Amino acid sequence: MKKRVVILGAGVTGLSAAYRLSQFPECEVHVLEKEMEVGGLCRSFTEGDFTLDLGPHKFYSNVPGVTEAMCEVMGDEFLLRDKTQKLYMSGRYFSFPLSLVEMITRFSPIKSMKILLSFGWQVIKTTVSSQPDQTYRDFVVNKFGKALYEQIFQPMARKMFGNPEKLDRRLAEVRISSPGLVAVLKQVLFSKKVDRTVSAPEFHYPKSGFGRIPAKLMEKAKANGANFHLGVKVTKIEQSQGKVSGVWVSSDSGKSEFISCDQLIYTIPMQAIAELMPELPAEVRQAARFVKFRHTVVYYFLLKAKSVLPAMWVFYPESKFRFGRLSEMTKFSPSVAPEGYTALMADFTCTGDDPEWSMNDEELGKHLLNQMKPLKLFSEDQIVKCFSKRFKNIYPVYEMGYEERVNKLRNLESSLENIYFVGRLGDFNYNNSDQCFDMGFSVANHIQEKGKVAEEWKNLRTERFEKYRIVD
């Protein structure tokens, strides 16, 4: 008898689990995906002669084994790109992550002095009485001082995640790879080596768009016998005798089908479990209601221009810009646009109550163009086409107290013993695709070796998944 493993969601987490499981002859793999295409947030799409990603995606990993595994999957489709990224503030471009030398020489003397004094003051304060960081704000102020927090980190965090005084320190720990000014100073003075846990000088990118990665994973998993059910929405998870017994799916035609399973890999939004298993205790369903995500908007400008940005992507922390980042697809791979054309993406996160979320494309385009005018990147007559893509609930919000709620849902793993929460949305883990590949491979290996949620699975989460850090 083969072991039947059902995977909910064909984003890169589900696909890497499917690919690895398909290499084990004793497993029968079924992937269920509501869209007609695989890839989730890592998809690419075509618009005329352009291939576009859902926001800028680079592949870089310092998780052991992941780069090797993905290079093997991608073969010669993977380009190795030298990374260029910048930060724009007070009308100037800076390197990113900020270099100490630039901070001193390129900020106005008053600003530089303020940053250094506030950092010195922070060092004294922390030495005299060290308080544990509670919030995002505490973490940044303790590492960089109040002035730098107020200049850069606070406005950027507000744009991306909400009020940094209400966010758990863990978000800053995951998202801000820089170890702080003391470490930066030591690096400048004593070491010329690049710290790859903070910022990597290069990354991989598929020649024809990031979406080639999920496409390749599916192709390989299929060739090994994995089954893909596209265009089906999971509507219910059934349990019997204390375990998950299978899932109900429905297609656009209204047809419902039950798919039984021995093991269930869950990569779809975590909070959806409350609707999928209405019989769960009230406190678990209540916890699901407070597991929150932010939405993302990506606005595309297809341009008749060779190149418009001074780097692959530029961060804009200042609040006068609604977008947090601009990025240029042709700098990732020139093959994604016709000769003489380029594609610029402006991306930002928001809640459903923010006005930008409900603006139509024309209104939003005007709004963003007005803010971009002083940047002098392109003129309006160079725009060939512009439009947005909007994604609901994709940025996990680590509000204070989130961990307790998320753990109430994760505890279902121990009680049911055959369901695994993995991925950015499935495990509410603010991570990058390389870490999703790692989670996918890890859950597949665990299922093959142990066959149930066991102590080793919980250890994987605390020792590995919770230690992921985003590398800039």
Ligand X SMILES: Cc1cc2nc3c(=O)[nH]c(=O)nc-3n(C[C@H](O)[C@H](O)[C@H](O)COP(=O)(O)OP(=O)(O)OC[C@H]3O[C@@H](n4cnc5c(N)ncnc54)[C@H](O)[C@@H]3O)c2cc1C
Residue 423 makes contact with ligand X by CB under 6 A: yes
Report in angstroms how near the CB of residue 33 gets to ligand X at its nearest: 5
Pick between residue 64 and residue 109 the one whose CB is nearest to ligand X: 64
Residue 295 makes contact with ligand X by CB under 6 A: no
Residue 238 makes contact with ligand X by CB under 6 A: no
Pick between residue 58 and residue 408 the one whose CB is nearest to ligand X: 58
Pick between residue 15 and residue 386 the one whose CB is nearest to ligand X: 15
Residues from 340 through 379 that contact ligand X (CB under 6 A): 347
Residue 52 makes contact with ligand X by CB under 6 A: no
Residue 424 makes contact with ligand X by CB under 6 A: yes
Pick between residue 151 and residue 435 the one whose CB is nearest to ligand X: 435
Write the binding mask 248 to 287 for ligand X: x where contact by CB under 6 A, - elsewhere: -------------------xx-------------------
Residue 57 makes contact with ligand X by CB under 6 A: yes
Report in angstroms how near the CB of residue 418 gets to ligand X at its nearest: 18
Report in angstroms how near the CB of residue 455 gets to ligand X at its nearest: 24
Query: Which region among 2-10, 143-151, 165-173, 410-418 touches ligand X (by CB under 6 A)?
Result: 2-10
Residue 206 makes contact with ligand X by CB under 6 A: no
Write the binding mask 12 to 31 for ligand X: x where contact by CB under 6 A, - elsewhere: xxx-----------------
Residue 324 makes contact with ligand X by CB under 6 A: no
Write the binding mask 375 to 394 for ligand X: x where contact by CB under 6 A, - elsewhere: -------------------x
Q: Which of 425, 443, 444, 471 binds ligand X (CB under 6 A)?
A: 425
Query: Which region among 53-61, 86-94, 110-118, 150-158 touches ligand X (by CB under 6 A)?
Result: 53-61
Q: d(Cα 116, Cα 114) in Å, to the nearest integer?
A: 6
Residue 436 makes contact with ligand X by CB under 6 A: yes
> What residues make contact with ligand X under the rule CB under 6 A?
8-14, 32-35, 40-42, 55-59, 233-234, 267-268, 296, 347, 394, 423-426, 431-434, 436
